[in-house]
Chains A and B, each alone.
Chain A
Amino acid sequence: MSSSLVIIDKAPYGRENALSGIYIAITSLDQGHESDVLLTGDGVYAALKNQSGEKTIGYPSVSELIYLLFPNGTLFVHLDSITQRGMKYGDLVEIAELIDNKTLYNLSKSKKHIIKI
């Protein structure tokens, strides 16, 4: 079985990257591959609770799409990136798992494909 880590470092709505990255992970999971998503840098905004993109600007809600990773994929959120942006674990969707730099290193080493989008 192949494995991938999709790394998203751009905030949702302003750019298409978050949405497109999550789609890659979801389709990989559907194909029976292991796939996880890592939000880092401005990408961590994709994990914020209560996003209203659908109602306000007519864009698909990234926070709702993220739930499709569950239960086979994991949504990792880079701890340093949320701290630097004044965010807390409680601000994030329930499926978010915080990851520190050392664990991140081991995680990326364990994956066959790194998809940085």
Chain B
Amino acid sequence: MTTHLNGNMFHKETMVIVLLDGPYSSQYADIGYKMAESALKLGYGVKIFLYMDGVHIPRKDQNPRDFPKTSRIIEELIENGCEIKACVRCAAARGYLDQSHYVKGVQITSVYDLAEWMDENSKVIILGS
């Protein structure tokens, strides 16, 4: 188990958020952040799976002029105990061949991990696309 997980991850019920869109082109990263933040405050476990263009969200060194940086909200969620994984197929296709492209704590992994998260104790919410 990674060190950034907090007590919420042991909560029986977990919210799984799947983000499909990249940052700035839609508001879904921000909406997902708000949902995750609220669930964490209520004591639920929160896991986020970045799929398709969603893998752009945690990219380091973003510098949007007119929007809050989405990589920062990812860092904040990880600090608060959220587990965040990015699909390896989607990430590699977009040039993210290893975790060095991402903010600390985001793992590149297989879609099998999403399937594993979709268990009886989780609620999956798809945002985007």
Which residues in A have some Cβ–Cβ distance to B below 8 Å? 2, 4, 10, 15-17, 20, 23-24, 27-28, 30-31, 33, 112-117
**What is the 8 Å Cβ interface bit string for chain B, positions 12-51, against chain A (1 contact, 0 not)?**
0000001010000000000000000000000000000001
Using CB atoms, name the residue of chain B closest to A23. B111
**Residues of B close to A15: CB separation below 8 A:** 129
**Residues of A close to B74: CB separation below 8 A:** none
Whole-angstrom CA separation of A24 from B87 in the bound complex: 11
With A17-B129, A115-B118, A117-B126 given, can you name 18 additional A-B contacts, CB distance below 8 Å?
Answer: A2-B118, A2-B119, A2-B120, A4-B118, A15-B129, A16-B52, A23-B89, A24-B111, A24-B114, A24-B115, A27-B112, A27-B115, A30-B112, A112-B120, A113-B118, A113-B122, A115-B18, A117-B129
Whole-angstrom CA separation of A114 from B123 in the bound complex: 9
Interface size class of B (residues with CB under 8 A): 20 to 34
- Min CB gap B90→A, angstroms: 8
10 tightest A-B contacts by CB? A27-B115, A28-B115, A31-B115, A113-B124, A27-B112, A2-B119, A27-B111, A113-B118, A2-B120, A16-B52
